[in-house]
């Protein structure tokens, strides 16, 4: 059985009468309170949004390209060598060398 935490936080909101009636109707259909209905569905929506924004999904082809580049990276080109050199100069300058 899941351990329940004490409810110590409050979220308040105002809705128009039509929205309230709809929430009450939906909660009644689920045989729960409006608060429980709103919290449950808001948490589901929040979880879905967080997963969508924080997870990167790539095709098998892209995954294989990425993996191959990690396992056997290409030699740095001229632009990358210049960027490394610029970085080294910047780090040395900020370190007071």
**pLDDT on residue 97:** 61
Band the pLDDT of 14: cuts 50, 70, 90: very high
Q: Is the Cβ–Cβ distance between 67 and 53 less than 8 Å?
A: no
Same-domain check for residues 65 and 50:
no
Does 4 map to a domain? Answer: no
Same-domain check for residues 51 and 64:
no
CA distances from 23 to 6, 7, 17, 29, 45 (A): 24, 21, 10, 10, 16
Q: In terms of residue numbers, what domain contains 21?
A: 13-55
Taking the complete model, does pTM exceed 0.85, yes or no?
A: no
Does 33 map to a domain? Answer: yes
Band the pLDDT of 1: cuts 50, 70, 90: low
Domains in the chain, number: 2
Per-residue pLDDT of 46-93, as tens digits, reads: 999 999 999 989 999 999 999 999 999 999 999 999 999 999 999 998
SS (H, E, C) 21-71: HHHHHHHHHCCCCHHHHHHHHHHHHHHHHHHHHHCCCCCHHHHHHHHHHHH
């Amino acid at each position: 059985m899941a351990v329940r935490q004490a409810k110590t936080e409050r979220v308040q909101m105002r809705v128009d009468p039509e929205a309230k009636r709809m929430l009450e109707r939906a909660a009644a259909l689920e045989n729960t309170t409006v608060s429980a209905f709103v919290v449950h569905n808001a948490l589901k929506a929040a979880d879905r949004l967080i997963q969508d924004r924080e997870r990167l999904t790539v095709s098998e082809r892209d995954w294989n390209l990425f993996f191959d580049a990690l396992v056997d990276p290409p030699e740095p080109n001229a632009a990358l060598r210049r960027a490394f050199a610029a970085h080294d100069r910047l780090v040395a300058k900020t370190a007071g060398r």
